[in-house]
Amino acid sequence: MSISYTEPAVTSAPDSPSYPPSVDKLARSLADIDLPHPMLVEAARAAIDAGDPQRARELAATMARSLLRPVINGTGTLLHTNLGRAPLAWSQAAAYSNLELDLTTGERGSRMATAPALIARACGAEAALVVNNCAAAVMLVLAALAEGRGVVVSRGELVEIGGGFRVPEVMERSGARLIEVGTTNRTRVDDFRRAVDEHGDDAGVLLQVHQSNYRIVGFTEAPRTAELASIDRPLVADIGSGLLDSRCPWLDSGPPGWLDDEPAARQTLDAGADLVTFSGDKLFGGPQAGIIAGRADLVAACSRHPLARALRPGSLVLGALQETALAYLRGDGDAIPFWRMVAVPVETLRHRAAALGVGIPVDVMSTPGGGTLPTVEIPSAGVAVPGDHRERLRNRPRPLIARVVDNRTIVDLRTVEADDDAEVAAALADISTPTDAAVDD
């Protein structure tokens, strides 16, 4: 008798078209993407769950692009909010610091005795305090000086700042009460005086808010700082943009003309303001921070308020502010990237544009950006390439951020460091064609 044996039918093996691939195996195939393995696993699993394992690399690349990374700013907007506003050129090795240690006495010290003290010196204030942004600075000042009381402010200065935050809402969170005076386009010092007479001690603070991100033109009037300072109430001036001194002693060429109408901390204090508040990452040229500077007793009142601890910055921010403040005190504008970029002559930018050897050299206009000087344009130069290539430039290993005008991709060199010109040239060469000049003509 013979026994026959039949081989069982072979079913599809794992990783064949009938079975999803191994998550781990797919994740390991993405190891060349600079992400931790658990994130690659997440991308692999999401692609498999969606029934499209081939998308795993795209998903992982998207994750990588979503992380913070250095970019080249070719937009011509010097304080680009989406790009972190003022460019920073400060770093710190892994180390402890004397953040709250007095090295002279060996006792506990104050983090406000370092960078804030230098900033106060640079703008002629008695004292200064640093918090995490300018909105926080205004909120802390009002909470410390006017909680439960009224704050007198012009209707024309009830502004909305970036991200939808509004001065009345910041004031409400501080516990202060809004006392509006004047009209949208015209407010006089007598409006403030009448409010103080009417509300008496309940009118605790006068608030002056710089219209940093818009302009009202035409039939307008606003009281000067010196006029408001004559009223017997603390005057807080939120100058917003953070210009330290209208004379710009850190620039060899002196103050540029486009700063003529911009309030500065030193001159605002000299005019009689008791406190000024401003941003650290705008015209100051440092990291994101909110700075309160002025009378020592009022700054001390702010520092004692419970909110001060919740809003205080860490050592990295204070370290960057310290280096920026020291540059101001040395009169070294070149050490502050924003001011170095602003001061480059347009002829130098034209020479750099021609030297790139790619694209078409063009004259353009840069803008300060960051909610400052909304009507100001600064002559600049760059290069243009026909067509809209922003996406391709953004997807480079080091993204190049450009703008499009009249169906031409423009790279404005005022916001590009000269050391990055070669990388810009390579990026534009990748998207250029031999007929660029013919298309432009």
Q: What is the pLDDT of residue 271?
A: 97
- Please report whether residue 6 resides in a domain: no
Q: What is the pLDDT of residue 398?
A: 94
Q: Domain check: are 196 and 241 in the same one?
A: yes
Domain boundary among 289, 323, 338: 338
Q: Domain check: are 178 and 198 in the same one?
A: yes
Q: Can you give the residue range of the structural domain that contains 49?
A: 23-65
Cα gap 145→149, rounded to integer Å: 9
β-bridge partners, 255: none
- Please report whether residue 245 resides in a domain: yes
Expressed in percent and rounded to 5, the helix, strand and coil fractions of the chain are 40, 20, 40
Q: What is the pLDDT of residue 240?
A: 86
Q: Domain check: are 323 and 351 in the same one?
A: no
- Please report whether residue 54 resides in a domain: yes
Domain boundary among 338, 357, 378: 338
Residue type, position 42, single letter: E
Q: Domain check: are 311 and 411 in the same one?
A: no
DSSP state string for 9-26: PPPPPTTSTTSPPPHHHH
CATH number at residue 393: 3.90.1150.180
Q: Are 73 and 306 in contact (CB under 8 A)?
A: no
- Please report whether residue 136 resides in a domain: yes
Query: Which residue from 142, 118, 140, 143 is spatially nearest to 128, judged by alpha carbons?
Result: 118
Cα gap 18→12, rounded to integer Å: 6
- Please report whether residue 257 resides in a domain: yes
First to last CA, the chain: 94
Q: What is the pLDDT of residue 17?
A: 55
Cα gap 241→257, rounded to integer Å: 16
- Please report whether residue 100 resides in a domain: no
Q: What is the pLDDT of residue 215?
A: 65
Q: What is the pLDDT of residue 11?
A: 41
E-strand ranges in 198-340 read 203-209, 235-240, 275-279, 290-294
Residue type, position 243, single letter: L
Please give the structure tokens belonging to residue 116.
């804030």
The kind and range of the H/E element at 410 are strand 408-412
Please give the structure tokens belonging to residue 189.
């010092």
Quote the longest CA-to-CA distance of the chain: 122
Q: Domain check: are 141 and 271 in the same one?
A: yes
**pLDDT tens over the chain, length 441 residues:** 444 444 444 444 445 456 778 999 999 999 999 999 999 999 999 999 999 999 999 999 999 999 999 999 999 999 999 999 999 877 888 889 999 999 999 999 999 999 999 999 999 999 999 999 998 999 999 999 999 999 999 988 887 765 566 777 887 788 889 999 998 888 899 999 999 999 999 999 999 998 765 666 777 788 899 999 999 999 999 998 999 999 999 999 999 999 988 999 999 999 999 999 999 999 999 999 999 999 999 999 999 999 999 999 999 999 999 999 999 999 999 999 999 999 999 999 999 999 999 999 999 999 998 878 888 999 999 999 999 999 999 999 999 999 999 999 999 999 999 999 999 999 999 987 544 443 443
Domain boundary among 306, 338, 370: 338
- Please report whether residue 14 resides in a domain: no
- Please report whether residue 379 resides in a domain: yes
Q: Domain check: are 299 and 157 in the same one?
A: yes
Cα gap 363→413, rounded to integer Å: 10
Domains in the chain: how many in total? Answer: 3
CATH number at residue 315: 3.40.640.10
Q: Domain check: are 325 and 383 in the same one?
A: no
Q: Domain check: are 248 and 374 in the same one?
A: no
β-bridge partners, 166: 160
b/e map 400-437, b = 16+ CB within 10 Å:
bbbbeeeebbbbbbbbbbeebbebbbebbeebbeeebe
